[in-house]
Amino acid sequence: GPDLTADGFVKLFHDAEAKLPESSAVLIFYAGHGMQVQGENYLLPIDTPDPENLDKLTAHAVKLNDVIAKFASRGRQTFIFLDACRNNPLGSGANISNGLAQVEVGENTFVAFATQPGNVTVDGTDENSPFTTALLKNVEIPGLSISDMMIR
């Protein structure tokens, strides 16, 4: 769903998990803020509070590894596209790295990042980022594999 709050994330994931057959394929696309704390990636809902401190920030965030674990289970083929990397919102005193960390995934799981691990994405000047714009353009090409789409 668009512009999800923390409660919206929980409801969306719960509803999707309840409705998906065990062997179904799952595609997750997330465009929004994300951050890395001590090697753990977090997606930030729209109601994430202003970054006063790390505990307050991560309490409202969604752990990417939890999302992967929830949907990549039960033999599902899972595709996750993340247009979400940002710089450290708390300054140099916090233990936050720029960009997102590389994730280890199991068989049948594909994760695509808008940029290399540890880097910050470019928002661009259009309605969508360059990453999302390229995805939308290439997803329409019949017969193009996901790996070829990501190279283009």
Residue 52 has, within 13 A of its CA and on its CB side, a CA count of 4
pLDDT at residue 1 in the model: 63
For the ranges 14-28, 68-82, 85-99, 133-147, the maximum mean pLDDT occurs at 133-147
pLDDT at residue 124 in the model: 67
* Domains of the chain and any CATH numbers: 6-120 (3.40.50.1460)
For the ranges 18-27, 72-81, 82-91, 132-141, the maximum mean pLDDT occurs at 132-141
Per-residue confidence band for 120, with pLDDT thresholds at 50, 70 and 90? confident
Strand order across the 109-113 sheet: 25-31, 77-83, 109-113
**Do 33 and 44 form a contact (C-beta atoms < 8 A)?**
yes
- Which of 68, 62, 70, 73 minimizes the C-alpha distance to 35? 62
